[in-house]
């Protein structure tokens, strides 16, 4: 591919690994801070912490909305293409009923979702379990398919770095952890190792010069990532245009994850693999 | 490609399987014009893609592991009295308590009833959750709501804490009214011929017991229930006045729920004699012997409760989508799918610059999407927004794997010999299977857990990967060889 001129040959393993390593550590710091503040690696959204989310189609500005919902715990207003996305804190059932009534009167075209605090908590622990099990399962598959420690560990480490960087960016730009973004993270666990598996496979199981194999893998791998990027970008654009909050969040998380994946596959994973081969770890 | 080659290609089992699956899928999706001339399909939509409302209820109870050195029956009745709640034995070491208690509150109660707690989970047993589900379904069906779904969310420990009700075509307020509404229950007595008279209504029934055998251990089933003082008086008076005590066979008692007769039987001879002289509060409705009798008894228990749930519930969440917003989301979803296919096509074209490669790739990709949609229609799965995201991701990664195949085969020189071709294809499929396995394994926890709406998403993603590996990739391998060998 002519667009990207990336010469893996030029750099030593240490040079390759240094940038993602720094980013990885920074990500862990961001995640750690969030964890201390909220008890979760990414700030939990309404699905997990409880509350009410409302999508309305309106031209009212924020002041008007604050006035309309003065009696309610309105915590956040975000702009959408042609409407607003409102978040409310927890309230008791009677209060919620009056809110629902108010909304259906003023904005009949609304979408409302309300999650109770205890239900959110139970979802949250299940989501955490799902993420951990997914990751472990993925690691097992990787180790089973390569059966050599260093290359397998490199793939798993890249995936871990993907997750960490994605989580950190989510915190920084304010995408909450919801059921939808949990789904996106799980998808990333599965998909982010695609290109790592291709790379490792090419390098370990094919004959030829190391640098040729790396470059071949890079060509194929970049196309793979760019097709997925293209599909997800399409989703992001459409959901932004159509103000579909949950799709926007999912596709944003996937985009961040894919970019992190490029970094971690072609710097982290390549770096470790190159070091392993140069050390004489494989034929 | 001449006709003979084309014929050979289409009859290849890999390609043939793909074509057959695509045809079945189109039939399953069944695109057609509805009576208003709009395009309609068999696809089902979740509540974020169509007008509807959902309510999530929390069942107030707990499942408690216990030990006791007392007689089991004594212990349970002690416990029930101390806790002022229905207590039900699930298995030899677990009890269900149908009232909200924390573990701290329960410990002393267990101690004074002569036992100890070994485990504590909020929720109810699977059996009770199924009852709740059935009662809610009955209630919703009775209201004539066209499209409703009731799901209990059971955890890995077999304890169900939440039940989710989804109703299409209603708004949130209506949905809550339907779920909260009590059925209208009454007992009537046959007077002459088919005429009946009102005896007591549902509010005279103060408690309903679980189905039981009478005499115990006899395999003859029934349900006992208790009438209030006034109810018992009314029951006795009516039975005497209309002659049910003198001639039970011609004066059946009928139980009616929402204008439907749910039970009809004569007074037993014993009861008829007793009622002549005294009022009876504790009544027993027998339903027959064996499995049939036991099933009937469970049904009757539900009817006697008149739609009241066996446990208290509270609303743990609710929501709804308006019709215009649902329509708009649906349109956006279609748009996203089409746009994803087109952009992916452009990227592929940029890389290979060869319509002979790009066209089959995009078509195989689209066919994969079609097969998934066909399957979704067949299992009547309700598509929601996360599923759409999953489908778009399937488009993106599906192409990935076609790229792997193409690049492996094209590796070092354009036209591989059939032998070499097969070796390379096998190697490519090896990479793909490893990559696919990671996706499947990553989604398995989600597919097994009842994580609200995400279960379906996980199943669809897994399915997409499986269809890809089993059907579309091998077919693509065959097609691309045919094209490249020219």
Contacts of A123 in chain B (CB under 8 A): 451-452
Write down the pLDDT at residue A4.
56
For chains A and B, CB pairs below 8 A equal: 239
Average confidence (pLDDT) over B150-171: 83
Choose which CATH entry (3.40.47.10, 1.20.1640.10, 2.130.10.10, 3.10.105.10) describes domain A8-45+118-278.
1.20.1640.10
Q: Do B324 and A109 touch (CB under 8 A)?
A: yes
| Nearest C-alpha in B relative to A107 | B322
Write down the pLDDT at residue A246.
87
Average confidence (pLDDT) over B107-123: 90
Average confidence (pLDDT) over B207-227: 84
Residue B449 contacts A where some CB pair is shorter than 8 Å: yes
Contacts of A237 in chain B (CB under 8 A): 339
Fold of B3-49+322-484: Multidrug efflux transporter AcrB transmembrane fold (1.20.1640)
DSSP assigned state of B166: E
pTM of this prediction? 0.81
Q: Do A111 and B321 touch (CB under 8 A)?
A: yes
| Nearest C-alpha in B relative to A206 | B427
| Nearest C-alpha in A relative to B401 | A224
Which of A179-183, B49-53, B296-300 is least confident? B296-300
CATH topology match: B3-49+322-484 vs B185-306: no
- Return the percentage of chain B with pLDDT > 70, whole number: 95
Q: Do A183 and B346 touch (CB under 8 A)?
A: no
Choose among A83, A45, A94: nearest CA to A250: A45
Contacts of A248 in chain B (CB under 8 A): none
A16-46 burial: b if 16+ Cβ within 10 Å, else e: bbeebeebbeebbebbeebbeebebbbbbbb
CB-nearest to A220 from B397, B403, B458 is B403
Which of A146-150, A215-219, B95-99, B173-177 is least confident? B173-177
Q: Do A113 and B431 touch (CB under 8 A)?
A: no
- Return the percentage of chain B with pLDDT > 90, whole number: 10
| Nearest C-alpha in B relative to A201 | B431
Residue B378 contacts A where some CB pair is shorter than 8 Å: no
Quick check: A137 pLDDT over 90?
Answer: yes
Write down the pLDDT at residue A282.
54
Query: From CA B229, how far away is CA B463, in angstroms rounded?
Result: 60
CATH code: domain B185-306 is: 3.30.1360
Domain boundaries, chain B: 3-49+322-484, 52-181+313-319, 185-306
Fold of A51-115: Alpha-Beta Plaits (3.30.70)
Average confidence (pLDDT) over B465-486: 85
- CA of residue B429 relative to chain centroid, distance: 36
pLDDT tens, residue by residue, A249-260: 999 999 999 999
Write down the pLDDT at residue B10.
78
Query: From CA B83, how far away is CA B94, in angstroms rounded?
Result: 16
pLDDT tens, residue by residue, A5-35: 677 778 888 888 899 999 999 999 999 999 9
Query: From CA A250, how far away is CA A200, in angstroms rounded?
Result: 28
pLDDT tens, residue by residue, A169-214: 999 999 999 888 998 998 888 878 888 999 999 898 888 888 888 8
Write down the pLDDT at residue A1.
41
Query: From CA B342, how far away is CA B392, in angstroms rounded?
Result: 12
CB-nearest to A137 from B351, B390, B444 is B444
CB-nearest to B325 from A111, A220, A227 is A111
Residue B484 contacts A where some CB pair is shorter than 8 Å: no
- In contact, B319 and B53? CB cutoff 8 Å: yes
| Nearest C-alpha in A relative to B318 | A114
Contacts of B335 in chain A (CB under 8 A): 238, 242
Quick check: B341 pLDDT over 80?
Answer: yes
| Nearest C-alpha in B relative to A208 | B412
Quick check: B14 pLDDT over 80?
Answer: yes
The ipTM, to two decimals, is 0.85
The residue that leads in pLDDT, A10 or B337, is B337
Per-residue pLDDT band for A143 (boundaries 50, 70, 90) equals: very high
Average confidence (pLDDT) over A130-152: 92
Residue A98 contacts B where some CB pair is shorter than 8 Å: no
Choose among A179, A28, A25: nearest CA to A113: A179
Q: Do B438 and A180 touch (CB under 8 A)?
A: no
The per-residue pLDDT of chain B, averaged, comes to 85
Secondary structure of chain A as H, E, C letters: CCCCCCCHHHCCHHHHHHHHHHHHHHHHHHHHHHHHHHCCCCCECHHHHCEEEEEECCCCCHHHHHHHCCCCCEEEEEECCCCEEEEECCCCHHHHHHHHHHHHHHCCCCEEEEECHHHHHHHHHHHHHHHHHHHHHHHHHHHHHHCCHHHHHHHHHHHHHHHHHHHHHHHHHCCCECHHHHHHHHHHHHHHHHHHHHHHHHHHHCCCCHHHHHHHHHHHHHHHHHHHHHHHHHHHHHHHHCCCHHHHHHHHHHHHHHHHHHHHHHHHHHHHHHHHHHCCCCC
pLDDT tens, residue by residue, A47-87: 888 889 898 888 888 888 888 888 898 888 888 777 888 98
The per-residue pLDDT of chain A, averaged, comes to 88
The alpha-carbon gap from B476 to the nearest alpha carbon of chain A, in Å, equals 16
Tokens of B359: 């066209």
Residues 5-64 of A with CB under 8 A from B: 47, 55, 57
Compute how many other C-beta atoms are within 10 angstroms of the C-beta atom of residue B194.
Answer: 6
| Nearest C-alpha in A relative to B352 | A1
- In contact, A269 and A21? CB cutoff 8 Å: no
Write down the pLDDT at residue A3.
46
pLDDT tens, residue by residue, B232-290: 898 888 888 888 888 888 888 888 887 788 888 888 888 888 888 888 888 888 888 88
Residue A164 contacts B where some CB pair is shorter than 8 Å: no
Per-residue pLDDT band for B413 (boundaries 50, 70, 90) equals: low
| Nearest C-alpha in B relative to A125 | B451
| Nearest C-alpha in B relative to A156 | B438
- In contact, B436 and B474? CB cutoff 8 Å: no
Does the bond joining B215 to the residue before it have cis omega, within 30 degrees of 0?
Answer: yes
DSSP assigned state of B123: S
Contacts of A145 in chain B (CB under 8 A): 434, 437
Contacts of A55 in chain B (CB under 8 A): 325
Quick check: A229 pLDDT over 60?
Answer: yes
Contacts of A111 in chain B (CB under 8 A): 48, 319-322, 325
Contacts of B444 in chain A (CB under 8 A): 133-134, 137
Q: Do B441 and A140 touch (CB under 8 A)?
A: yes
Residue A90 contacts B where some CB pair is shorter than 8 Å: no
Quick check: B305 pLDDT over 50?
Answer: yes
Quick check: B29 pLDDT over 50?
Answer: yes
Instruction: State the burial class of residue B486 (Cβ atoms within 10 Å of its Cβ: 0-12, 13-18, 19+).
Output: exposed
Q: Do A201 and B434 touch (CB under 8 A)?
A: yes
Residues 135-174 of B with CB under 8 A from A: 155, 161-162, 171-173
The DSSP string of B342-376 is HHHHHHHHHHH--HHHHHHHHHHHHHHHHHHHHHH
Contacts of B388 in chain A (CB under 8 A): 247
Per-residue pLDDT band for B412 (boundaries 50, 70, 90) equals: low
The Cα angle at residue B363 between residues B357 and B369, in degrees rounded to 5: 140
Domain boundaries, chain A: 8-45+118-278, 51-115
């Amino acid at each position: 591919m002519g667009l990207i001129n990336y010469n893996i040959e030029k750099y030593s393993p240490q040079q390759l690994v240094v940038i993602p390593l720094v980013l990885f550590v920074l990500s862990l710091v961001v995640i750690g801070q969030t964890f201390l503040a909220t008890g979760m690696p990414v700030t939990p959204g309404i699905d997990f912490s409880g509350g009410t989310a409302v999508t309305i189609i309106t031209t009212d500005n924020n002041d008007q909305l604050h006035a309309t919902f003065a009696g309610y715990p309105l915590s956040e207003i975000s702009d959408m293409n042609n409407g607003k996305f409102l978040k409310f804190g927890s309230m008791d059932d009677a209060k919620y009923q009056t809110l629902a009534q108010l909304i259906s009167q003023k904005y009949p075209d609304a979408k409302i979702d309300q999650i109770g605090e205890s239900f959110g908590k139970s979802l949250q622990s299940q989501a955490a379990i799902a993420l951990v099990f997914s990751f472990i399962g993925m690691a097992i598959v990787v180790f089973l398919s390569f059966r050599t420690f260093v290359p397998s560990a490199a793939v798993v480490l890249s995936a871990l770095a993907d997750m960490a960087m994605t989580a950190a960016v989510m915190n920084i730009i304010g995408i909450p952890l919801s059921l939808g973004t949990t789904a996106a993270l799980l998808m990333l666990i599965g998909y982010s190792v695609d290109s790592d598996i291709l790379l490792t496979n090419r390098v370990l199981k094919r004959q030829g010069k190391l640098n040729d194999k790396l470059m071949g893998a890079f060509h194929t791998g970049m196309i793979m990532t760019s097709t997925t990027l293209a599909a997800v970008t399409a989703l992001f654009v459409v959901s932004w245009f159509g103000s579909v909050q949950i799709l926007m969040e999912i596709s944003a998380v996937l985009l961040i994850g894919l970019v992190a994946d490029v970094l971690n596959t072609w710097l982290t994973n390549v770096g470790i693999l190159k070091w392993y081969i140069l050390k004489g770890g494989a034929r | 490609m001449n006709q003979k080659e084309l014929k050979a290609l289409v009859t290849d089992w890999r390609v043939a399987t793909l074509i057959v699956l695509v045809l079945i899928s189109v039939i399953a999706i069944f695109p057609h014009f509805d009576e208003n001339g709009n395009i309609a399909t068999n696809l089902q939509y979740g509540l974020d893609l169509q007008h509807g409302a959902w309510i999530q209820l929390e069942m107030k109870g707990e499942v408690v592991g216990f030990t006791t050195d007392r007689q089991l029956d004594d212990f349970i009745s002690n416990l029930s009295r101390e806790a002022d709640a229905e207590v039900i034995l699930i298995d030899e070491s677990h009890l269900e308590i149908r009232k909200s208690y924390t573990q701290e509150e329960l410990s002393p109660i267990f101690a004074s009833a002569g036992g100890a707690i070994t485990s504590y989970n909020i929720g109810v047993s699977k059996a009770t959750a199924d009852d709740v589900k059935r009662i809610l379904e009955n209630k919703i069906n009775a209201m004539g709501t066209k499209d409703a779904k009731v799901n209990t969310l059971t955890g890995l420990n077999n304890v169900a804490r939440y039940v989710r009700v989804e109703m299409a075509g209603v708004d949130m307020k209506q949905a809550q009214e339907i779920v909260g509404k009590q059925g209208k229950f009454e007992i009537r007595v046959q007077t002459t011929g088919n005429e009946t008279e009102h005896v007591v209504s549902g509010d005279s029934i103060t408690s309903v017991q679980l189905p039981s055998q009478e005499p115990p251990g006899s395999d003859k089933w029934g349900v006992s229930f208790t009438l209030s003082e006034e109810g018992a008086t009314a029951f006795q008076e009516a039975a005497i006045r209309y002659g049910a005590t003198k001639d039970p066979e011609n004066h059946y008692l009928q139980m009616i729920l929402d204008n439907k007769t749910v039970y009809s039987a004569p007074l037993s001879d014993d009861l008829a004699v007793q009622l002549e002289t005294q009022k009876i509060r504790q009544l027993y409705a027998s339903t027959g012997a064996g499995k049939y009798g036991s099933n009937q008894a469970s049904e009757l228990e539900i009817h006697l409760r008149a739609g009241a749930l066996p446990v208290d519930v509270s609303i743990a969440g609710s929501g709804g989508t308006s019709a215009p917003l649902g329509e708009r989301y649906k349109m956006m979803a279609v748009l996203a799918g089409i746009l994803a296919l087109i952009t992916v096509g452009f990227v592929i074209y940029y890389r290979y610059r060869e319509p002979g490669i790009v066209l089959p790739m995009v078509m195989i990709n689209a066919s994969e999407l079609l097969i998934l949609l066909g399957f979704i229609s067949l299992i009547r799965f309700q598509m929601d927004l996360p599923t759409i995201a999953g489908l778009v991701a399937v488009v993106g990664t599906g192409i990935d794997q076609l790229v792997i195949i193409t690049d492996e085969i094209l590796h070092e020189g354009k036209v591989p010999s059939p032998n070499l071709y097969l070796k390379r294809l096998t190697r490519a499929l090896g990479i793909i299977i490893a990559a696919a396995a990671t996706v499947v394994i990553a989604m398995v926890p989600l597919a097994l857990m009842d994580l609200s709406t995400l279960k379906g998403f996980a199943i669809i993603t897994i399915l997409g990967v499986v269809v890809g590996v089993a059907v579309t990739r091998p077919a693509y391998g065959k097609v691309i060889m045919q094209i490249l060998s020219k």
